[in-house]
Amino acid sequence: MKRPLRALSAALLAVGCLVSMTAARANVIIAGTRIIFPAADGEVTVRLTNQNTTPALIESWVDNGDPMSTPDKVKTPFLVTPPLFRMEPNRDQSLRILFTHSDQPLPTDRESVFWLNVLEVPPKPTSLEVQKANTLQMAIRSRLKLFYRPAGLAGDPVKAPGELTFKATSAAGTAAVVVHNPTPYYVTITELRVTTGGSAHKSEPGMVAPMSDLTLSVADLKQAPAAGTAIEYHCINDFGSDVVLKGAVSP
């Protein structure tokens, strides 16, 4: 990639981050909400659709979790092609994500998580558009989780959310739930509710790493819930669908 284009990515990155957290809507739509990368395949394809009536400049790259990453600074074992292109209005375009190599071998007994970035830069307004009204241009960056899944992992990723277990704890006057994930798959929790005393108390969302624990605080609950307390939680499956499950606080 040419140096001026790298500079463009870095300059627009902060704007892209800001817009991604607001109500601004991207015109270039990414098929799906997450990417599963089977190691045995060596590559995956992601489809983009430009729903606008104007073209857009698209730049894409994979980072390892740094939301301030830029394509010239990232070091991941993935190559996205084409990395930079003009996308015509009302057209589709496929991105190929290829596994290249890793300076540090990735685990073979569990998933690894990365992020696909798609930066959309709108065309410069014409002189007539500028004359008619004030304009504000914004680059929009979308980030999707990319799960690298080694071959032969134990268990079933579809059943992984149902394998979670829960323990109660508290700190600084706030209750929390410690979520244990015994599986080799990442599990994303979008919502978790603890029902005690006839009331449901919502925790913060989070993603539980494979074979790890995650502590989710329950802001409006002061005391740790007792063993047997009912828990309802929502997870996202491989297809991006919401799955609702029930559990209970372990002794």
Distance CA 225, CA 109 (A): 34
Looking at residue 24, its pLDDT comes to 53
Pick the residue with more confidence: 127 or 78?
A: 78
For residues 230 and 128, membership in a common domain is answered with no
For residues 129 and 210, membership in a common domain is answered with no
For residues 21 and 111, membership in a common domain is answered with yes
For residues 134 and 21, membership in a common domain is answered with yes
Strand 165-171 versus strand 230-236 pairing type: unpaired
For residues 140 and 169, membership in a common domain is answered with no
Looking at residue 23, its pLDDT comes to 42
Is the separation of the CB atoms in 102 and 77 below 8 Å? yes
Quick one: tokens of 232? Answer: 């309802």
Instruction: Please say which residue of 149, 180, 208 terminates a domain.
Output: 149
Domain assignment present for residue 154? The answer is no
Looking at residue 123, its pLDDT comes to 81
**Candidate ranges 68-77, 108-117, 137-146; pick with highest mean pLDDT:** 108-117
Domain assignment present for residue 228? The answer is yes
Looking at residue 25, its pLDDT comes to 65
Task: Answer yes or no: is pLDDT of 222 > 50.
Answer: yes
**What average pLDDT is seen over the chain?**
87
Question: Which domain, by its residues, includes 223?
Answer: 160-248
Residue 123 DSSP code: P
Number of domains in the chain: 2
Task: Answer yes or no: is pLDDT of 235 > 70.
Answer: yes
For residues 167 and 224, membership in a common domain is answered with yes
Looking at residue 143, its pLDDT comes to 95
For residues 193 and 110, membership in a common domain is answered with no
For residues 107 and 33, membership in a common domain is answered with yes
Per-state percent for the chain, helix, strand, coil, to nearest 5 = 10, 45, 45
Which residue type sits at 36?
Answer: I
Which residue type sits at 165?
Answer: T
Task: Answer yes or no: is pLDDT of 232 > 50.
Answer: yes
Looking at residue 13, its pLDDT comes to 47
Is the separation of the CB atoms in 114 and 62 below 8 Å? yes
Looking at residue 219, its pLDDT comes to 82
Task: Answer yes or no: is pLDDT of 111 > 60.
Answer: yes
Q: How confident is the model at residue 1 (pLDDT cuts 50, 70, 90)?
A: very low
Task: Answer yes or no: is pLDDT of 134 > 70.
Answer: no
Say which range, 134-143, 146-155, 194-203, 215-224, has the weakest mean pLDDT: 134-143
For residues 73 and 138, membership in a common domain is answered with yes
Which tens digit of pLDDT belongs to each residue from 9-61? 444 444 444 333 334 567 899 999 999 999 999 999 999 999 988 899 999 99
